[in-house]
Amino acid sequence: MKSKTSRLDRFISQNSSFSISDCRLLVAQKRIALDGQLAHSIQQPVGEFTHVVLDDNCLNSHKPVYIMLNKPKGLVSATKDLKHPTVLDLIQHPQKDELHIVGRLDFNTTGLLLLTNDGRWSRMISSPETKLAKTYEVVLSKPMTAEYIAVFQKGIHFAYENITTKPACLEILSEYSARLSLVEGKYHQVKRMFGFFQNEVLSLHRVSVGNISLGGLELGCSRQLTPQELGADAGSSA
């Protein structure tokens, strides 16, 4: 999703009775403020969430929204679906129709799902260059051995795409359960990695993305991200 940005003079002409040529004088007369600061150039960028005031009239008060959801099973990670309920059905927010999903979870996968109306932020979270660790709790059908740890760290070759997964950190919690952290999101990657050992994933639950963690958020519930979570830009790279 693209972020909407335009020059100040174009924005003023599109959202007021003034023309582009009027904008230079408006700036000189100190009649325009951007995010609480007087405008200083007609070329200043006005983003989707820039607070723009002209002569005490607010021209843009659009606010960014950042939400985490603890996704239950049986919901589609989409904003619309003709056959199944979607994760958006669980969100109660006046701007919910603006939201898009940041990194999907499969139909039967549970856990942390992020939603926003901020395209810049979602691209940063999803970009492979950011290398944010996604951490999952996994329950398997067969016991694991220490060999799993070494193989996951080395990377597993997916013949169909002719790619090798990036090193992943596997912590074995018990014979049948583990915590897995990885920095990429190939198609059904977790299930396919354990499939290398012919070990079926019985349940998969995402607990964190970078430094953003579910904490005690109950299944099916959502909340807005805190300034501290946003200030960390979703965490350190791994």
Q: Which residues are catalytic?
A: 106
Picking from 234, 215, 44, the residue whose alpha carbon sits closest to that of residue 121 is: 234
Query: Apex CA 39: angle with CA 35 and CA 42, to 5°?
Result: 125
119 backbone φψ class: left, alpha, beta (φ>0; ψ -120 to 50): alpha
Question: Among residues 72, 69, 60, which one has the least CA distance to residue 32?
Answer: 60
Residue keyed to tokens 């939603």: 115
Q: Is residue 56 classed exposed, middle or buried when 0-12, 13-18 and 19+ CB atoms within 10 A define those classes?
A: exposed
